[in-house]
Structures are given as C-alpha cells and as structure tokens.
Amino acid sequence: MQTNPRFWAIVPAAGAGTRMGADMPKQYLTLGDRTVLEHTLDTLLSCQQLSGVILVLSPTDGRWSEIAPRYSGQALETAGGGAERCHSVLNGLNHLVTRATDDDWVLVHDAARPCVRAEDIEHLMNTLKGGTDGGLLGVPVADTMKRVDEELSISATVDREGLWHAYTPQMFRAGLLRTALQQAIDNGQQVTDEANAMELAGFRPRMVQGSRDNIKITVPSDLPLAAFYLQSRPSS
C-alpha cells in the first residue's frame, strides 16, 4: 500500500432527477443564493485534504456552462456520464487514472446532497484512511421500520437494531472500487451505491456516523428542508 495516498472526490451529476417534477435536473435548482450543485461543490472544494474533484456530467448537460466560470482555476475537472450511476462513477474513476494511483482514496458524493458538512467529510477521511475496506457516512435508523405489501398493508415490523441509513460520501481505494464496479457491470448486477459494489466484491465497508441533515434532494419538499438546514448554520 502507498505510504501517503491522496484523496479525490467524484460527484456523479448526470441524472435527470425525474421525481422532482422540475423542468431541469435537480442539481441545478436554486437553493438560496446558489444552485444545489454549487453548494455541494463548494463544500467539497473547501476540504484541504482533497487533491481534486471530478464532476461527472450528462453528455447533454446544457447548464453547467452557466456556472462553470465560478470554478475557473480550482481543482475541479469534468468527465462524461454514463447510462446509470455506476457507469458515471466508473467514468470518473477512469478519468482519474492518469493522476490517481490505485491506492489513492476516492470519495463519491451525490450532487444532490448540498447539506453535507465539511467536518463530516474530514471525519470520514481520518477514520478510514488507515484501512482497506473503506466505508461511508450514515446514521442509525431511529424510527420504527415497517415492511408492506403491494397494497401498502403492513406485513412485518422490521427490527431496526443494526440498521443504518446510507449517505455519501462513500470512500474507497480507487483501484478496488474500479474493479468492483466493473465486475458488477460485467455480471449484470444492479448496484444501488458504491458500497453495494464493494460488498458484492467481498469487502465489508464501515459505517461512519455523520449528520442527519445530510439529506438527498429527491422530491420537491426536500428543497425547502435543505434551505432550512443551510440557513440554520452559523455563517463562516
């Protein structure tokens, strides 16, 4: 293993976000004085341990060019997205291959999680950097969990002991994650996140507790909630 591996971030932002019902991808919706994507990028770029950020965009993205000038001269590059999240992340990893070693760490973060805290990102890096299996931010499940059938009738109450909500960033060695994602794609396995791909490859990613306000903007009601969380924080 490399003695002093570097840290990189990949932000998949090639999705359409259809559940928002908006006329643009959700990462370009306005949240206060900036777009959702800008909040996300600004937090990542404030983390001094990160060597650079790769933003993965849809080939048909027509909005990034409007805000790209803000990031001129910063450690931010773009790559083309793929059909699914796993393809986009793999494209981001392949974009990094000439600069990042296989032992370097890659943090994959959702473009639509603008409330992530820089201190949680730093905590994730410092907690996992001495290991191999990697891990991700998350929080323990606090509510009672119910399993329902097709008619939404409760079929079981699920024991929440040991259950966590999986957030991002998700942090893994670049070479191991590249191999795991490629294997999942080649085997036709549907993976919901990077940790899922690593699990299928035989690894046991570690959960690192983050903040509950690191929400993912998915439906319209999430946007004002994210705005509330951001406005409630002390100004830096």
pLDDT digits (tens, 9 = 90+) for 98-146: 999 999 999 999 999 999 999 999 999 999 999 999 999 999 999 999 9
Q: Taking residues 198-227, report their average pLDDT.
A: 97
Computed over every residue of the chain, the mean pLDDT equals: 94
pLDDT score at 233? 86
Q: What is the pLDDT of residue 186?
A: 97
Residue 20, pLDDT above cutoff 90: no
Residue in 168, 179, 124, 138 with CA at minimum distance from that of residue 7: 124
Nearest to 169 by CA among 224, 203, 208: 208
**d(C-alpha 206, C-alpha 31), whole Å:** 31
Domains belonging to the chain, first-starting first, are 7-130+168-204+213-231 (3.90.550.10)
Taking the C-alpha atoms of residue 109 and residue 9, their distance in angstroms, rounded to an integer, is 7
pLDDT of residue 2: 63
177-211 pLDDT per residue, tens: 999 999 999 999 999 999 999 999 999 999 999 99
Q: What region, left, alpha or beta, does residue 209 occupy, with left being phi > 0 and alpha being psi -120 to 50 degrees?
A: beta
Structure-token pair, residue 118: 């820089």
The tokens for 97 are 């291959």
